[in-house]
């Protein structure tokens, strides 16, 4: 589990395709405190650390990514030097600063508009039709792993205001219309939708 509070902005170091695709990431994390098998949320996708190290003081870690993950997330679009949001897994006793994020991407949303609002920016996204009913004003979503509050919803589109700190310290500062992002809906909304569906099928 994660909280959607990004603790490092790294980048793709290399990509090697053989069976599963191996991504290596440059990071600011102290990898001496990370075990093989640990989970790290990478722009919204929970990946397992399969190798790690430090080249001349530059820490890195590797993760194997399946074809399924590449097809259901934006990871298939990533290239060397693509910026990536990182968050380590939540530990018992850690501060819950965002909301509960599983690291399981529900779908890919499109950036529709980016508008300055003072020092902040208003971002408008279009969600896949199957997910849009589970997005509510004042509810939570994770965009590329970042915990955010939904301002308004209009059919399949929803808007979010992003403050300067988040713009500067995550990949959200580089978003522009036409780009795609990983979307995870609120876990509670997912289960409520499932219960409603089951009730309708009775």
Q: What is the pLDDT of residues 148-201, one digit of tens each?
A: 999 999 999 999 999 999 999 999 999 999 999 999 998 776 666 666 666 677
> Is residue 118 in some structural domain?
yes
Structure tokens at 179: 């780009």
> Is residue 1 in some structural domain?
no
184 and 113 in a common domain: yes
Residues 6+ apart with CB under 8 A from 93: none
59-87: b (≥16 Cβ within 10 Å) or e: bbbbbbbeeebbebbbbeebeeebebbbb
75 and 127 in a common domain: no
Structure tokens at 150: 């939904």
Question: Whose CA is closest to 44, among 122, 117, 107?
Answer: 107
Q: What is the pLDDT of residues 78-102, one digit of tens each?
A: 999 999 999 999 876 677 777 889 9
DSSP-assigned states of every residue in 96-127 = --S--B-S---EEEEEEEEEEETTEEEEEEE-
Domain that holds residue 183: 107-200
Where residue 84 sits, what CATH number does that domain have?
A: 2.40.30.20
State CA 31 to chain mean position distance.
Answer: 21
> Is residue 99 in some structural domain?
no
Number of H helices, E strands in the chain: 3, 13
154 and 80 in a common domain: no
12 and 58 in a common domain: yes
* Unique residue bearing structure tokens 């990509």: 15
> Is residue 145 in some structural domain?
yes
Q: What is the dihedral of CA 106, 110, 112, 113, to 10 degrees?
A: 80
What number is the average pLDDT over the span 107-125?
Answer: 97
């Amino acid at each position: 589990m994660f909280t959607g509070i990004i603790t490092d902005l790294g980048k793709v170091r290399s990509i090697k395709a053989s069976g599963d695709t191996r991504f290596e990431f440059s990071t600011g994390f102290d990898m001496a405190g990370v075990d093989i098998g640990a989970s790290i949320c990478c722009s919204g996708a929970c990946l397992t650390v399969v190798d790690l190290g430090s080249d001349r003081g530059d820490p890195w870690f590797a993760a194997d990514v399946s074809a399924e993950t590449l097809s259901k997330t934006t990871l298939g679009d990533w290239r060397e030097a693509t910026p990536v949001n990182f968050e380590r897994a939540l530990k018992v006793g850690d501060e819950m600063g965002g909301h509960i994020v599983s690291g399981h991407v529900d779908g890919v949303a499109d950036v529709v508009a980016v508008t300055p609002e003072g020092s902040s920016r208003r971002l408008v996204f279009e969600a896949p039709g199957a997910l849009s009913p589970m997005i509510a004003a004042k509810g939570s979503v994770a965009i590329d792993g970042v915990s955010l509050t939904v301002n308004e919803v209009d059919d399949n589109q929803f808007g979010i205001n992003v403050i300067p700190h988040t713009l500067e310290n995550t990949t959200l500062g580089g978003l522009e219309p036409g780009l795609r992002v990983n979307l995870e809906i609120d876990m509670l909304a997912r289960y409520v939708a499932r219960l409603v569906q089951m009730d309708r099928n009775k």
